[in-house]
Structure 1
Amino acid sequence: MTGTNILDDSTVTLTRYQELWDAFRQRELRQGLYTAGGVVMRDTLLDLHGSDHQLRRRVENRLFRRGTFRTWEADLVPEIIDEAFTPVIARGAADLVLLGTRTVMNLTAKVAGVDRVTGSVRETDALQEFATKFSEGATLIHTTRDPDVVRAEVSEALGRFDEMFFTPSYERRTALLADPAVAEEEYPKDVLTALIRNREELRIDRDVMLREVAFYLQAGSHSTANAFTHSVDEILRWAERHPDRAHRLDDDLFVQRCVHEVLRLHPASPEARRQAVTEVTLRDGRSIPAGTFVRMDIKAANADPEVFGADAAAFDPDRTVPSGVQPWGHTFGGGMHACIGMELDGGTVPKEGEAEHVLGTVPLMVRELLRHGVRLDPANPPVKESHSSRDHFGSYPVLFGREVS
């Protein structure tokens, strides 16, 4: 049974889990979603193909290793969560969209190599405004506005971001790397430092570094914050339906399983798009001519009943999946363009005897809220974004502590 649909003469849509698994691993299908957004995406990791992509990925993979994630999870992530969560928990109420955005933005800036000089909320919010504009530029293919107007706005925002954040961060790292008195272990462990250290090998200039950092800023903050809000939503509603099982939320590994199920049901990007560089033959024998665009429907594939069961569209943290299938489905992509930060977001799937299990940023954030009795605000229900076709919340008010009857 195939889920392939022909949209037009130059586009093929894939909707089944195995179809996407195959397509993600076809090396002659290059990234096709971000070409229009070149103002911010040109020559970034996600837009590169072939040997240039392999080289950039190899350099940045040195940063995104499991040992690094474990170090961040032990020190950096809890510190950032505490900084953002403590004030709202003390107040007894929060908007999860704002809380998640601010928390994740601070973490993403740290990973990307963007210094927060003052550490203020105003500074964090400024970074979020830039990230939102960069995201609009990256997904220009989906805009309903005049593309030239959007490009001009993104270009202007990139210039202000360069002056306010990138230039000071770039100059600080350049000076550190040039100082013989600074030991290598003292270098910042972030993307920008990796790019500066390997600029000759990568054959990149400062403008490419600027766009790469901007790309990390918008991609990391958006996806993680969205997963955080959806995770709390699904978990609270599951607990309402199963009060006799709510005690299981005291178990960190169960919370992580809940988050993995949420990532499957609510992918940050509901689709991926590729373009055939040469003629490509899929495993089932179908041929995709050179130049053809391939639209991969991630949301549909993640709910494929042949893989995830007849109730694939429902939230079930006890769901079992076939061997070789990740519990989050295709949410993080696959093949050479698999999300480089997937383990930072959702951690790793626990394995017996494994010494390097990573819980993940989203489970850690959710766990902290659960420890403080997070619950829905009955007077202010959650609201979905009205101006987006994507499954995002515009606001999600919550309260903390036990409800007083």
Structure 2
Amino acid sequence: MSTITLDRYADVRDAFRRHELAQALYDAGGVVMADCLLVLHGAEHRVRRRVENRLFRRGTFRHWEREFLRDVVVDTLRPFTTTGRADLIELGYRTIMTLTAMVAGVDRPTGSDAETDALYRLAKKFSEGATLVHTTRDPDEVRAEVAAALDEFDRVFLQPSIARRTALLERLAAGEIEESDLPRDVLTALLRHREELGISDDAIRRECAFYLQAGSHSTADAFSHAADDWFAWSARDPEAAETSRNDPALLQACVYETLRLHPASPVAQRRAEAPIALRNGTEVPAGAVVVLDIAAANRDATVFDRPEEYDPTRAVPAEVPRWGHAFGGGMHACIGTELAGGVPMAAAEDGQQVLGTVTLMLEALLAAGARPDPEHPAQRDPHSARDHFASYPVLFS
């Protein structure tokens, strides 16, 4: 089997848009990723995406941001600022867990710290399973741990959530409640369209686990990198960094620059379902694996001036997102792009900016006077080839 690697921005964009190229990065992580939206292809993917896309609308994100997201961020941060210290990894997961569970359709009956801790632990394990291709541990050992975590998740969280939604759907069918009384989440959508989707119990479980880990892991990872990049920028150019504290648009640009430099997935991988010719003239035979080097493409000097430099004020071509390919592209573009990254003012059709969860988290962190702990430097994750922090201690003024 031949492997073709693409590392130029335009070539990666071209490949993302080719329907002949099917997702292939998560084959090793099938224990949690099999049959998920991210790995489906063709007609199955179109139907699933159509059902789930209804949940991910800009108006919904704006409503969440205005009504409760800021409160969730500040409330989660408060106990840490009281003690004067935190670890950004834990803080990131704890902050995003409430929203991620709500999107997935995982009920939290008590809203207790114990529930948050349990979901945090399960989501981290699901994430380890999804990125199994990059693990440095024994893959079979990781798969066994992920399978056990899925069983616990199903028993403790998912089955009660399914039971509540099934009862609501029965009441809707009987005319006892209105459409607006249904939860707006992935699980409800899957249960309601189960026959149309032809989806099994196991696939529903994996899909909810996927949303739980994908949303929490990528957002928490982006948050820790965004803070790290901002701290370094502040040391180099304190005046510019200080300006961003009170400029939401600039702070959002800081997050976009971090996403460009530290995409959650440094590579994407596709398998050619049929022979194709890319725009750059590359011939891709059927069955070939195409590696899309997102990290390299996001540093393409023909697109991004001074590509290795962190510069939130940089200018980019009009057709290029400030985050590059960090959210993927084509049919498998991240369904939660605007939830995590928001909508920049220039793209807001009604002039109302959506900051996104990562920017809200960074804004609250800086407002609390966070700074790296000089006695306990950040540590990279030794069990992943990806660019993740295992710990990032900070102190609060």
Q: Could you tell me which residue of structure 1 aligns to residue 95 of structure 2?
A: 103
Q: Could you tell me which residue of structure 1 aligns to residue 281 of structure 2?
A: 285
Counterpart Cα distance in 2 of 1:293 and 1:300: 18
One-letter code of the match for 1:255?
L
One-letter code of the match for 1:42?
A
Structure 2 counterparts to residues 18-29 of structure 1, below 5 A:
18-29=10-21
Structure 1 pair 112–239 and aligned structure 2 pair: CA distance change class (3 A): same
Q: Could you tell me which residue of structure 1 aligns to residue 378 of structure 2?
A: 382
Structure 2 counterparts to residues 4-403 of structure 1, below 5 A:
9-179=1-171, 180-249=175-244, 250-309=246-305, 311-351=306-346, 354-355=349-350, 356-401=352-397
Q: Alpha-carbon deviations, 1:290-321, whole Å to 9, x = none? A: 00001111111111111101x20110001111
Structure 1 pair 383–148 and aligned structure 2 pair: CA distance change class (3 A): closer
Shift of residue 352 of structure 1?
Answer: 7.2
TM-score for both structures, normalised by structure 2: 0.95
DSSP 3-state at the match of 1:12: strand
Shift of residue 39 of structure 1?
Answer: 2.0
Q: Could you tell me whether the CA contact under 8 Å between 2:381 and 2:390 is conserved in 1?
A: yes
Counterpart Cα distance in 2 of 1:371 and 1:326: 27
Q: Alpha-carbon deviations, 1:55-97, whole Å to 9, x = none? A: 1111111000101111111123223213311111222221111
Structure 1: any 5+ residue segments left out of the alignment?
A: 1-8
Counterpart Cα distance in 2 of 1:102 and 1:137: 20
Counterpart Cα distance in 2 of 1:146 and 1:377: 33
DSSP 3-state at the match of 2:292: strand
Of 77-86 and 342-351, more deviation after overlay is shown by: 77-86
Number of corresponding residues: 392
Of 204-213 and 160-169, more deviation after overlay is shown by: 204-213
Runs of 4+ in 1 over 4 A off after TM superposition: none
One-letter code of the match for 1:108?
T
Structure 1 pair 18–122 and aligned structure 2 pair: CA distance change class (3 A): same
Of 243-252 and 53-62, more deviation after overlay is shown by: 243-252
Shift of residue 118 of structure 1?
Answer: 2.0
Q: Could you tell me whether the CA contact under 8 Å between 2:52 and 2:189 is conserved in 1?
A: yes
One-letter code of the match for 2:38?
L
One-letter code of the match for 2:187?
L
TM-score for both structures, normalised by structure 1: 0.93
Shift of residue 385 of structure 1?
Answer: 2.0
Q: Could you tell me whether the CA contact under 8 Å between 2:230 and 2:241 is conserved in 1?
A: no
Q: Could you tell me which residue of structure 2 aligns to residue 4 of structure 1?
A: none
Q: Could you tell me whether the CA contact under 8 Å between 2:134 and 2:386 is conserved in 1?
A: no
One-letter code of the match for 1:228?
F
DSSP 3-state at the match of 2:5: strand
Shift of residue 369 of structure 1?
Answer: 1.5
Counterpart Cα distance in 2 of 1:182 and 1:152: 42
Q: Could you tell me whether the CA contact under 8 Å between 2:125 and 2:149 is conserved in 1?
A: yes
DSSP 3-state at the match of 1:256: helix
Structure 2: any 5+ residue segments left out of the alignment?
A: none
Percent sequence identity is 57
Counterpart Cα distance in 1 of 2:203 and 2:291: 27
One-letter code of the match for 1:78?
R
Shift of residue 374 of structure 1?
Answer: 1.7
Counterpart Cα distance in 2 of 1:368 and 1:224: 15
Shift of residue 353 of structure 1?
Answer: 7.0
Q: Alpha-carbon deviations, 1:215-273, whole Å to 9, x = none? A: 11111111000110111111122112112223312111110000000000011111000
Q: Could you tell me which residue of structure 2 aligns to residue 5 of structure 1?
A: none
One-letter code of the match for 1:138?
A
Counterpart Cα distance in 1 of 2:125 and 2:84: 31
Counterpart Cα distance in 2 of 1:10 and 1:371: 51
One-letter code of the match for 2:299?
A
Of 248-257 and 135-144, more deviation after overlay is shown by: 135-144
Counterpart Cα distance in 2 of 1:236 and 1:354: 32
Of 100-109 and 149-158, more deviation after overlay is shown by: 149-158
